A and B are shown apart, each in its own frame.
Chain A
Amino acid sequence: MRYIRPQSMEDAVGLLAGAAGPAAILAGGSDLLVRMKGGFVEPELIVDIKAIAGLSDITETADGFRIGAAVPCAVLGENAALKKAWPGVVEAAKLIGSKQVQGRCTIVGNLCNASPAADSVPALVAAGAKAVVAGPGGKRTIAVESVPTGPGKTSLAKGEIIEAILLDKRPPHAGDAYQRFIPRTEMDIAVVSAGVNLTVGDNGVVKAARVAVGAAAPTVLLVEEAAQVLIGSKLDEATLERLAKICSGACRPIDDKRGTIEFRRKVAGVLAKRVAAIAYERAGGK
């Protein structure tokens, strides 16, 4: 096994593109090392991207925020501007693993691990986040929801690395929120989850919305129909009930060790209602 810590993105891309055997990218390692220890993967090449300039930075730009691929989730929680603009994204990232894991794990790693139950992904999808992909053919920017294609699978080609996540600058009266269901209070994996991001007009009516549901299908679901229900409403009881029904209906869950189909359907709706109400309050709606 070779471990290489390149100084530039070009070198990192070149190493991965030229790898003959199985290769892995190491940022926080909170998924990779566990999988290696369990004997599930045996990479011949590990490319540690933490030494590449800019990858460990959160930058506030004219367009919003750029979060480097090697920024640990704990650092997201320490960035006051990011927390103020995207509280839902930050609270989702801060749910991954334990306190110790928080110091290592990254949202890009969470995205590329491609678990349907990933905590930060529904929040990122609801936020309309973009991923900047560097590869042998240059750079491209894609919607985060197009990265995972199924459990453990991504749309990234050989040699491609996500170098950053982009979040838009917030208009006034915008808010987002994320919640997951776990049987314990922490150190667990989402049985089902929901993220909502919305913008409210001066009159308290929702102008724009995105709703995402996690751990309810092979990939995180962006539920357009649910967003349509919220737009034009003031989140009255009837709207919330319809939101819950649509989110429950959109689920394509499985029965497994973490929950049943019925449970995931039902609770997806309950969580959507709850997070929509929180996002609305954060956006200044009442």
Chain B
Amino acid sequence: MNFDPRYSGRSFTSVGTRPIRPDGVDKVTGRARYGADFNMAGQLVGRILRSPHAHAIIRKIDTSKAEKLAGVKAVITAKDLPDLTDGDAAMYDILDNSMARTKALYDGHAVAAVAAIDARTARQALKLIEVDYEVLPHVTDVDEAMKHSAPLINDAIFTEGLEEKPVKPSNVTKRTQYGHGDVHQGFGEADFVVERSFKTEQTHQGYIEPHACVASVNPDGTADLWVCTQGHFVYRQHCAQLLGLEASKLRVTSSEIGGGFGGKTHVWAEPVALALSRKAGRPVKLVMTRDEVFRASGPTSATSIDVKIGAKKDGTITAAEATLRYSCGPYAGMWAEIGAMTAFACYKLENVKTVGYEVLVNRPKTAAYRAPSAPMAAFAVESAVDELAKEIGIDPVDFRIKNAAQEGTRASYGPVYGPIGIGPTLEAVKNHPHMKAPLGTNQGRGMACGFWFNFGGQTCTDLNIGMDGSVSLAVGTVDVGGSRASLSLVAAEELGIDYAHVKAIVADTSSLGYNDMTDGSRGTFSSSMATISAARNAIKILRERAAQMWDISVDDVAWEKGHAVAKGEKHGNLGKLSLKEIAAESGKTGGPIAGHSELVADGAGVSFATHICDIEVDPETGSTRVLRYTVVQDAGKAVHPTYVEGQYQGGAAQGIGWALNEEYIYGKDGRLQNPGFLDYRIPVCSDLPMIDTQILEIPNPNHPYGVRGVGETSIVPPLAAIANAVSNAVGVRMSHIPMSPPRILAALEAERERFSR
């Protein structure tokens, strides 16, 4: 395959328009099938027994009483999921997280499961399972877990990445470092230095649809899995490996998805459902309750971050340094490392150093959450940047413009940037009417920047042309934000036909080659590249067929605006052949016409955003109200602008919730206190203003249409933008996220105390 992915600077007919999405009607009429909407004849109800302890040795599990209960068809423990991971540490962690093997490592860790004829019987059976726990001391706080006195979560863990190999085990799995230059020297050149410590609490992705699946293991060793996931091919790999199946024998079909945001990128309950089905010999449906979703799936890291930035009087940053500690749950992760990479990515820095520590705690396994790790790092850095601008006496937007990374800047995490959007988003913000709008009493305005890498990855797509000339597009990236519409636009654009004649579906794992999951903002970026490639392959066949119909050389046939056109004077009397006309004759000219593509989509362009937020604070209660919010972000090329705007707004909304009220609250007993939407407060509609958006298009040189991923960056700036707005509204610098009313009121009271002394 000789596909040229370079940006061509072409003009567009379909791309950039806003047609109705193909999945829209089903979704608004309730007809769309989500994970829990799939059913099979004879299916059993699966339920999972979970540890009530944050940290405990599982001495013994007695399932005999549960097995004897009428209606129970299977009871499983870790013994029914033998370790087939063959030294693959990451897979072993996924296995252990699916079903605790020797120790329960957090409140909510699965220890056993049942399959029964109905939900009531399954619930009763769980009560009959006797687990003998030896409760161990636990630790849930990231800073506490780093202390030498902290209970050890895994005594086989010795910190990696230290200069000297440690002799004692630790809850810190890894130390990483990024940067360049000499920060010591840089701080020496600074006229102003700001140094602060920050904390952010753990948040959940908050997808409305809980994890749900139906697993059916057949007597011949093949199996089917219908599941709500961001990556059915990845789920297939994981489940096949954990269950000892050949990948091709396990067919995974993804449902519509009621939100994932990174939380549906690895398996939890699916291997359990398959193991239950295998043991019971019947299909098993397993749907997590909301309580289980909070206690055992998701969440993102809690963090503790120190930042130090120095600058000259003229506003030039001379050095920047950060130490980032991120909780990983009880299994090793690379969350602090990503934080260390993204922290200063917006800036052009001579001297920069970031150090990350991955920290084990007795909380659920950290999962990706929309630009994972970047929002917390941006909160710390952008808060300090704002404070430094104030100390110098320079406008915070101008300060950032002066220090913004550009094409050719060496990023703090290593690579040299190509054309990027940080400068343009800052200029757009500077000139945005929002920045000039008047503010009232107790109101403040804040702004902040954010960065995300974006990802490309393995992608496989099929494009089939029907005999009526309509086009079906089968993609392998789950549609989480309107990508079927966007990819249909791309197919229409490339073939030169109308969007209405293209129908895109997400194909199951037996119908397409492997696709990486929809993460890293890759869905539209990578699958549009594969769709363009598949369409071009189809066009090659269309030209051949036209040449056959005309009986001329294929070299003389070009493809223009949905038609085969004969080139050259000798063919001047030949008309055009439409795609439809060629398709109608396909049975006589060589059979079905299709385009296939498999590729690794390299060169996902990095993404930058700048946000503006107006907030009002009630100084008597610490209550906040977001009055106005604007997102400015580079999309490379917005294929379907409505869904690009939707991504911008969605990320901002989630960031606002994270900034103000969302947090995991653990009791002293290590149990999660708020595993439900009543006390885990995501914003409701009336909490948010209409979020304004401005799309900038700085083409990605590594995509034919210039597309960049857009899904994640929008959650990066809000924490800092809101903290800066609160600071400007009532004069307190909030260093602990979420900025809940009790925290803001306590800060205001402390400030009043300070002034009255």
Question: Which A residues form the contact surface with B (CB < 8 A)?
Answer: 38-39, 181, 183-189, 191, 256-260, 262-263, 266-267, 270
Partner of A184, one of B684, B745, B746, B749: B684
Partner of B621, one of A38, A185, A262, A270: A270
Interface centre among B621, B622, B674, B746 (most CB of A within 10 A): B621
| Stretch binding the partner chain, chosen from B536-544, B675-683, B718-726 | B675-683
**B686/A260 in contact, CB under 8 A:** no
Q: Main SS of chain B's interface residues?
A: loop
Question: Which B residues form the contact surface with A (CB < 8 A)?
Answer: 123, 291, 620-623, 660-661, 665, 673-674, 678-679, 681, 683-684, 686-687, 740-742, 745-746, 749
**B684/A267 in contact, CB under 8 A:** no
Residues of chain B within 8 A (CB-CB) of A184 are 661, 681, 683-684, 686-687
**B681/A188 in contact, CB under 8 A:** yes
Distance between A128 CB and nearest chain B CB, rounded to angstroms:
28
Distance between B736 CB and nearest chain A CB, rounded to angstroms:
13
Distance between B233 CB and nearest chain A CB, rounded to angstroms:
35
**B746/A263 in contact, CB under 8 A:** yes
Cα A39 to Cα B291 in complex, Å, equals 12
**B742/A263 in contact, CB under 8 A:** yes
Please name the residue on chain B nearest to A37 by beta carbon: B289
Distance between A248 CB and nearest chain B CB, rounded to angstroms:
12
**B674/A267 in contact, CB under 8 A:** no
Cα A201 to Cα B36 in complex, Å, equals 62
Distance between A34 CB and nearest chain B CB, rounded to angstroms:
10
Q: A39 with B684: in contact, given A257-B679, A260-B742 (CB under 8 Å)?
A: no
**B681/A183 in contact, CB under 8 A:** yes
**A181/B741 in contact, CB under 8 A:** yes
Residues of chain B within 8 A (CB-CB) of A181 are 621, 623, 741
Q: Can you list 30 A-B contacts with CB-CB less than 8 angstroms, sorted by A residue number? A: A38-B291, A39-B123, A181-B623, A181-B741, A183-B623, A183-B660, A183-B661, A183-B681, A183-B740, A184-B661, A184-B686, A185-B686, A188-B678, A189-B678, A191-B741, A256-B673, A257-B665, A257-B673, A257-B679, A258-B679, A260-B746, A263-B622, A263-B742, A263-B745, A263-B746, A267-B620, A267-B621, A267-B745, A270-B620, A270-B621
Cα A184 to Cα B685 in complex, Å, equals 10
Known: A183-B623, A183-B741, A262-B742. 20 other contacts (CB 8 A): A38-B291, A39-B123, A181-B621, A183-B681, A184-B661, A184-B681, A185-B684, A185-B687, A186-B684, A186-B686, A189-B678, A257-B665, A257-B679, A259-B741, A260-B742, A262-B746, A262-B749, A263-B622, A266-B621, A267-B620
Distance between A191 CB and nearest chain B CB, rounded to angstroms:
8
**A259/B742 in contact, CB under 8 A:** yes
Cα A263 to Cα B740 in complex, Å, equals 11
Please name the residue on chain B nearest to A271 by beta carbon: B621
Cα A183 to Cα B687 in complex, Å, equals 10
Residues of chain B within 8 A (CB-CB) of A257 are 665, 673-674, 679
Distance between B683 CB and nearest chain A CB, rounded to angstroms:
7
Residues of chain A within 8 A (CB-CB) of B741 are 181, 183, 191, 259, 263
Please name the residue on chain A nearest to B127 by beta carbon: A39
Cα A266 to Cα B745 in complex, Å, equals 9
Residues of chain A within 8 A (CB-CB) of B622 are 263
Cα A189 to Cα B677 in complex, Å, equals 11
Interface centre among A184, A186, A189 (most CB of B within 10 A): A184
Cα A24 to Cα B289 in complex, Å, equals 24
Cα A258 to Cα B663 in complex, Å, equals 11
Cα A266 to Cα B291 in complex, Å, equals 32
Residues of chain B within 8 A (CB-CB) of A263 are 622, 741-742, 745-746
Cα A189 to Cα B679 in complex, Å, equals 8
Residues of chain B within 8 A (CB-CB) of A38 are 291
Residues of chain A within 8 A (CB-CB) of B687 are 184-185
Cα A262 to Cα B622 in complex, Å, equals 12
Residues of chain A within 8 A (CB-CB) of B123 are 39
Please name the residue on chain A nearest to B738 by beta carbon: A183
Residues of chain B within 8 A (CB-CB) of A39 are 123
Q: Which 6 A-B pairs have the closest CB atoms?
A: A263-B742, A185-B686, A257-B673, A270-B620, A257-B665, A257-B674
Residues of chain B within 8 A (CB-CB) of A189 are 678-679
Distance between B120 CB and nearest chain A CB, rounded to angstroms:
10
Residues of chain B within 8 A (CB-CB) of A267 are 620-621, 745
Please name the residue on chain B nearest to A244 by beta carbon: B620
Cα A283 to Cα B749 in complex, Å, equals 34
Residues of chain B within 8 A (CB-CB) of A259 are 741-742
Please name the residue on chain A nearest to B677 by beta carbon: A187
Distance between A46 CB and nearest chain B CB, rounded to angstroms:
16
Residues of chain B within 8 A (CB-CB) of A258 are 679
Please name the residue on chain B nearest to A183 by beta carbon: B661
Interface centre among A39, A260, A267, A270 (most CB of B within 10 A): A267
Residues of chain A within 8 A (CB-CB) of B674 are 257
Distance between B721 CB and nearest chain A CB, rounded to angstroms:
19
Cα A184 to Cα B662 in complex, Å, equals 11
Cα A13 to Cα B683 in complex, Å, equals 43
Cα A39 to Cα B661 in complex, Å, equals 27
Residues of chain A within 8 A (CB-CB) of B623 are 181, 183
Residues of chain A within 8 A (CB-CB) of B291 are 38
Please name the residue on chain B nearest to A189 by beta carbon: B678
Cα A187 to Cα B684 in complex, Å, equals 8
Cα A279 to Cα B683 in complex, Å, equals 30
Cα A266 to Cα B621 in complex, Å, equals 8
Cα A258 to Cα B621 in complex, Å, equals 14
Residues of chain B within 8 A (CB-CB) of A191 are 741
Residues of chain A within 8 A (CB-CB) of B749 are 262, 266
Cα A220 to Cα B665 in complex, Å, equals 25
Residues of chain A within 8 A (CB-CB) of B678 are 188-189
Cα A108 to Cα B4 in complex, Å, equals 71
Residues of chain A within 8 A (CB-CB) of B621 are 181, 266-267, 270
Cα A128 to Cα B660 in complex, Å, equals 37
Please name the residue on chain A nearest to B746 by beta carbon: A262
Residues of chain A within 8 A (CB-CB) of B660 are 183
Distance between B747 CB and nearest chain A CB, rounded to angstroms:
12
Please name the residue on chain B nearest to A267 by beta carbon: B621
Residues of chain A within 8 A (CB-CB) of B742 are 259-260, 262-263
Distance between B402 CB and nearest chain A CB, rounded to angstroms:
37
Residues of chain B within 8 A (CB-CB) of A186 are 684, 686
Interface centre among A181, A183, A260, A266 (most CB of B within 10 A): A183
Interface centre among A181, A191, A258 (most CB of B within 10 A): A258
Residues of chain B within 8 A (CB-CB) of A185 are 684, 686-687
Cα A285 to Cα B577 in complex, Å, equals 85
Residues of chain A within 8 A (CB-CB) of B683 are 184
Residues of chain B within 8 A (CB-CB) of A262 are 742, 746, 749
Cα A256 to Cα B749 in complex, Å, equals 20
Residues of chain B within 8 A (CB-CB) of A256 are 673
Residues of chain B within 8 A (CB-CB) of A270 are 620-621
Cα A39 to Cα B621 in complex, Å, equals 35
Distance between A29 CB and nearest chain B CB, rounded to angstroms:
17
Distance between A203 CB and nearest chain B CB, rounded to angstroms:
30
